[in-house]
Structure formats: structure tokens, C-alpha cells
Amino acid sequence: MTELVITSREDLEKILRNFVDEFFNSRTVHGNVDSEERLNQKEAAEYLGITQGTLIRWKYKGLVPVEQLPGSNKVTYYKSQLKAVIQRNPKLLQPTRK
């Protein structure tokens, strides 16, 4: 079902202004990727307390977000993204049973 909403120009400007304000405020709260701490593979593994091999496996399984340009060996992890992954899935850091 489609609804047609008629509003004044002033009301529309208020709505858009509020939307833009909320958008930029949410980016500040959740962290702007451009300004946050970047980690290389070794630093990311140390931050998580795991080996680089484990981090590489997680990367290939898609368990951790990573930036890597096609054809490049350089990878970049973001501290806030790694923290969020661990908060969502704390079992990743639990020792495996043998």
C-alpha cells in the first residue's frame, strides 16, 4: 500500500535536518573508520591474544572484518570492529577443547 504524505517545505526541511543530525551523531558514537585506530595483522593478533595463523583463518572464514586491496598483501583491521566481533561472539576467544 502506498501513502501520499503532504507536508510543508519547512516541515520537510526539519525532517531532513533531524535525519542528517542523527546520521552524523550515530557515526560519532559508533566511531568513524577513517579516524580510528588501525592495526596491521601482527598488532590485531596481539590485541586479540591469538596467533597470526588463527587470525588469518578467521579472515578467510569471514569471522573478522578486514580491509585488503585486491592483489595486495597488506591488510588493515580496525580495533573497534575487532572489539565488536568479540563482544558479539565471545566464544571465539575461548580455548578449544582437546
Could you tell me which residues are beta bridge partners of residue 39? 77
Banded model confidence at residue 36, pLDDT cuts 50, 70, 90: confident
pTM for the full predicted model: 0.60
Query: Which of 3-17, 18-32, 42-56, 79-93 is predicted most confidently?
Result: 42-56
Q: What DSSP string describes the chain? A: --------HHHHHHHHHHHHHHHHHHHHHH--TTTSPEE-HHHHHHHHTS-HHHHHHHHHHT-S--EE-TT---EEEEHHHHHHHHHH-GGGGSPPP-
What are the sequence ranges of the domains in the chain? 38-93
Number of other CB atoms surrounding residue 82 within 10 Å: 19
For residue 46, pLDDT beyond 80:
yes
Of the candidate CATH numbers 1.10.1660.10, 1.10.8.60, 3.40.50.2300, 3.30.1310.10, the domain formed by 38-93 belongs to: 1.10.1660.10
